[in-house]
């Protein structure tokens, strides 16, 4: 398996043939298979090794394979910390194929003058689409209905079978009015929803443009029929939604999380769903991730959980991969990457 064998040569050339070290091209380690179009572009400008396994690259393999590389193209599943940087003394660029970069120790990278890059904006619409898909699936109990058909439980039409909640004219509460949150607001308006928002940073101009009203968090939770999370995972947002917050929500409320799993306390969520403190939840992300098969949340009927696929469209994943490669190559050439998280390293 590529990337899993000690001393494997770097790849170079459009067809990714095995080749010896190229004296002039920078060396890159890619932590997972990415769309071919992006790999071809990388191969034209660098030599690389790649981990081709379905699961994330094992820690010991990552530490071994980054030795001597100039750049790393990583995913959110890869912890790029001081130990990885120690193992890669020539490392100049960490290009994360994701909007978020909480898997990278940016502070340590900055002290070592290593550029950290991400892929913002490209997945905004795709992720907003999926967040709304989760909202609709939970509201209208789509997954429950599909399971009942497969189990042979569909006997007839009935006026009381799998009753859900209307989305139109309901109140949608958005936590985090960034790019994705703003796009979700547009979709909510398209369903004639009353849209309210909470964010630590007020954006009055954007709120007015979108036709949304600002609320503090407690008020938003109390008023919303649907609560959808689009804030980043930060120390202050860890378990932002927990036991006390669920108590504020309507018993008919539905929670959607397509941001980061640890923003929601999973034990509190389980208790809230089991006791019907809230009606339903739909998750694209969990804590931990992936969710263990024996997790108590999986015993509940009033929850939809999917495997972190909000940005998983062919077009978006290809754009993300190409953007990550562009960031990486620019940094390796000594240029400013299009999307750099720590631009202060350039001044140094």
* Catalytic residue list: 260, 289, 308
310 Cβ neighbours under 8 A, 6+ residues apart: 123, 126, 127, 130, 131, 258, 284
Residues 1, 50 contacting (CB under 8 angstroms): no
C-beta atoms surrounding 211 within 10 Å: 12
Tokens of 165: 């909640």
User: If you ran DSSP here, which 8-state letter would residue 50 be given?
Assistant: E
CA 200 centroid distance within chain: 20
**Side-chain half-sphere exposure of 189, counting CA atoms within 13 A:** 15
Q: Cα–Cα distance between 19 and 30 in angstroms, integer? A: 16
Helical residues (DSSP H) of the chain, grouped into ranges: 36-45, 59-65, 82-87, 106-111, 124-139, 142-150, 179-190, 204-210, 217-223, 243-248, 266-274, 314-332, 344-347
Note the Cα 109 to chain centre separation in Å: 22
224 in Cβ contact with 165 (< 8 Å): no
- Whether 212 and 195 have beta carbons less than 8 Å apart is answered as yes
């Amino acid at each position: 398996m590529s990337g899993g064998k000690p001393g494997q040569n770097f790849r170079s050339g459009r067809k990714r043939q095995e080749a010896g070290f190229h004296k002039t091209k920078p060396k890159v380690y890619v932590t997972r298979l990415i769309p071919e179009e992006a790999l071809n572009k990388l191969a034209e400008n660098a030599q690389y090794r790649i981990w081709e396994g379905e699961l994330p690259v094992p820690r010991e393999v990552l530490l071994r394979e980054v030795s001597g590389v100039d750049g790393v193209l990583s995913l959110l599943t890869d912890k790029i910390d001081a130990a990885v940087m120690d193992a890669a003394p020539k490392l100049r660029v960490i290009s994360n194929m994701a909007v978020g970069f909480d898997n990278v120790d940016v502070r340590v990278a900055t002290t070592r003058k290593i550029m950290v890059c991400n892929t913002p904006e490209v997945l905004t619409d795709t992720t907003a689409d999926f967040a709304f898909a989760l909202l609709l699936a939970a509201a209208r109990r789509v997954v429950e209905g599909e399971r009942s058909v497969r189990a042979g439980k569909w006997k007839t039409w009935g006026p009381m079978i799998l009753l859900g909640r209307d989305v139109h004219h309901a109140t949608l509460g958005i936590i985090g009015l960034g790019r994705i949150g703003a796009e979700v607001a547009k979709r909510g308006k398209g369903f004639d929803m009353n849209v309210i928002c909470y964010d630590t940073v007020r954006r009055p101009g954007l709120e007015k443009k979108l036709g949304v009203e600002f609320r503090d968090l407690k008020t938003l939770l109390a008023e919303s029929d649907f609560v959808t999370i689009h804030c980043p995972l930060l120390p202050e947002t860890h378990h932002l939604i927990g036991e006390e917050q669920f108590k504020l929500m309507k018993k008919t409320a539905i929670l959607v999380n397509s941001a980061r799993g640890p923003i929601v306390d999973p034990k509190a969520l389980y208790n809230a769903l089991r006791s019907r403190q809230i009606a339903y939840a739909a998750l694209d992300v969990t804590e931990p991730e992936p969710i263990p098969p024996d997790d108590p949340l999986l015993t509940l009927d009033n929850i939809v959980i999917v495997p972190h696929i909000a940005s998983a469209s062919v077009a978006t994943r290809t754009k993300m991969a190409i953007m990550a490669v562009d960031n990486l190559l620019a940094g390796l050439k000594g240029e400013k990457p299009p999307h750099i998280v720590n631009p202060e390293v350039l001044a140094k």
